[in-house]
């Protein structure tokens, strides 16, 4: 059973940084459609927490999927993460430089693969620097470790399962996209996709979970945003990244069993036979 807070503070990481079992991953990701000035890997190369390896969600992914950064199978995941020096017995701390984008996604991926000793650095790299942590721009020397996957399929939602749940009151569906896209007022950034939402889903933009300085809101603040934080829940977004931020917030409230719809709106709206709603 997972419990406690899925996030750690920069102060905690500074205090425990030299523990031999700790591994730090930089999961910075910028979506292409935002026209970022650099890639996540370039941001990592420019400056990262000492010893942190770069976790590329577009590389540790299902290469055969037509959708972006989909979760790979256990064999591919374990093969690629071993090369990052991460394996059994490690306490993993994931951070990013973009407001939990995509540290929460990597936190979820590791948990799907059965690794429970994983936390997200609250506030990301900025919090580390503010707390007095140093940076380096050299890649770390990595030794491969054995990683044993123990897949938790209950943390993954696919389109078939979600189609069965639509119209049912047994599962809360929370969409983390901005409300304009959710209600069909604003076009999707991915060409060819209609905007709107999965019927029966509710909108809670991922930005509502984050403070102005890039930390996740407190448990008390988060509790006011969810109708029933402990309800069986699946989260969705544009492509399965922001949805993991919602799952992280619900874990902070004690619900560790939230499933993420991996394909999210990119997959759902790609099939014209699936229903799309635009009303409240």
The residues, any chain, with a CB within 8 Å of residue 55's CB and separated by 6 or more, are 25, 26, 27, 81, 84, 94, 106
The residues, any chain, with a CB within 8 Å of residue 76's CB and separated by 6 or more, are 60, 62
Among candidate residues 159, 106, 160, 155, the one with its CA nearest the CA of residue 265: 159
**218 catalytic per annotation:** no
How many other CB atoms sit within 10 Å of the CB of residue 98?
Answer: 19
* Marked catalytic residue, from 237, 241, 243, 245: 237
CA distance 102 to 192: 24
For residue 168 the two structure tokens come to 């049912």
CA distance 209 to 216: 6
167: phi > 0 → left, psi -120 to 50 → alpha, else beta; which? left
CA distance 247 to 103: 12
Strand partners, 180: none
Residue positions annotated with a catalytic role: 237
């Amino acid at each position: 059973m997972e419990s406690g807070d899925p996030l750690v503070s920069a102060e905690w990481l500074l205090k425990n940084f030299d523990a031999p079992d700790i591994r730090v991953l930089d999961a910075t990701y910028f979506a292409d459609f935002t026209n970022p000035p650099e890639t996540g890997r370039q941001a990592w190369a420019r400056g990262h927490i000492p010893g942190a390896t770069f976790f590329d969600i577009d590389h540790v992914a299902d290469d055969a999927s037509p959708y972006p950064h989909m979760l790979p199978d256990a064999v591919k995941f374990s093969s690629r993460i071993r090369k990052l020096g991460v394996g059994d017995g490690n306490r993993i701390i994931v951070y990013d430089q973009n407001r939990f984008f995509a540290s929460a996604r990597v936190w979820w991926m590791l948990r799907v693969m059965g690794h429970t000793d994983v936390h997200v650095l609250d506030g990301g790299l900025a919090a580390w620097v503010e707390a007095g942590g140093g940076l380096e721009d050299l890649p770390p020397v990595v030794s491969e470790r054995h990683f044993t996957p123990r897949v938790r399929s209950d943390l993954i939602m696919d389109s078939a399962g979600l189609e069965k749940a639509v119209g049912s009151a047994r599962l809360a569906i929370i969409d983390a996209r901005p409300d304009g896209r959710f209600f069909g007022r604003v076009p999707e950034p991915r060409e060819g996709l209609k905007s709107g939402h999965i019927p029966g889903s509710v909108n809670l933009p991922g930005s509502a979970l984050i403070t102005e300085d890039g930390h996740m809101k407190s448990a008390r603040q988060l509790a006011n945003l969810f109708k029933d934080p402990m309800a069986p829940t699946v989260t969705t977004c544009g492509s399965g990244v922001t949805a993991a931020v919602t799952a992280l917030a619900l874990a902070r409230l004690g619900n560790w069993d939230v499933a993420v719809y991996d394909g999210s709106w990119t997959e759902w709206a790609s099939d014209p036979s699936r229903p799309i709603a635009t009303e409240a």
